[in-house]
């Protein structure tokens, strides 16, 4: 009996770790700038604008959240339909690697390569969709 999970589901599990990294990084950088009273409080009123790194972390998180639902849906659809492997697995690996690389690229303001990482992640989703359809 083979109990190993398909790559798409393994990466789905690890993608939760990437999500938590995004959330933790954004939260820590914002708290560093706005203070623990802001973080622990109700956050009513106008928040102090975020500085360079906290702002980038927030935008990187929002960008991640734009494609994350599609990745989750496609990974689950491939698994449920029995269509894992092949270009779907390649697509999942591309999406995952690109989204992982995107974090430092965005935080450190690396132009063009960051955009390339985003395009690679979209290519990964497209490959997963092709495999599913």
pLDDT at position 50 is 87
What six digits make up the tokens of 26? 């954004």
Contact criterion met (CB below 8 Å) for 98 and 120:
yes
CA distance 108 to 69: 26
Mean pLDDT (the chain, rounded): 94
What six digits make up the tokens of 25? 């990084």
C-alpha torsion sign, points 72, 73, 74, 75: positive
User: Which H or E element spans position 81?
Assistant: helix 52-81
pLDDT at position 2 is 64
The 10s digit of each residue's pLDDT in 58-91 is 999 999 999 999 999 999 999 999 999 999 999 9
User: Which DSSP state fits 35?
Assistant: -
Which residues have CB under 8 Å from 25's CB, separation 6+? Answer: 57, 61, 103, 107
CA distance 108 to 30: 16
pLDDT < 50 positions in the chain: none
Give, in order, the Cα–Cα distances in Å from 80 to each of 6, 95, 132.
11, 19, 10
Place of tokens 């960051």: 114
Domain range annotation of the chain: 8-132
pLDDT at position 40 is 86
Q: Structure pTM?
A: 0.91
CA distance 46 to 49: 9
pLDDT at position 1 is 60
Place of tokens 């690996």: 93
Q: Which CATH architecture has domain 8-132?
A: Up-down Bundle (1.20)
């Amino acid at each position: 009996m083979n109990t190993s999970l398909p790559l798409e589901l393994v990466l789905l599990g690890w993608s939760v770790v990437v999500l938590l990294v995004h959330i933790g990084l954004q939260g820590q950088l914002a708290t560093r700038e706005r203070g623990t009273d802001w973080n622990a409080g109700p956050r009513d009123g106008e928040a102090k604008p975020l500085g360079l790194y906290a702002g980038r972390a927030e935008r990187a998180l929002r960008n991640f959240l734009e494609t994350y639902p599609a990745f989750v849906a496609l990974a689950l659809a491939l698994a449920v339909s029995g269509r894992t492997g092949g270009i779907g697995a390649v697509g999942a690996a591309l999406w995952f690697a690109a989204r992982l690389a995107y974090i430092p690229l965005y935080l450190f303001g690396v132009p063009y390569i960051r955009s390339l990482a985003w395009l690679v992640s979209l290519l990964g989703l497209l490959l997963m969709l092709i495999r599913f359809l």
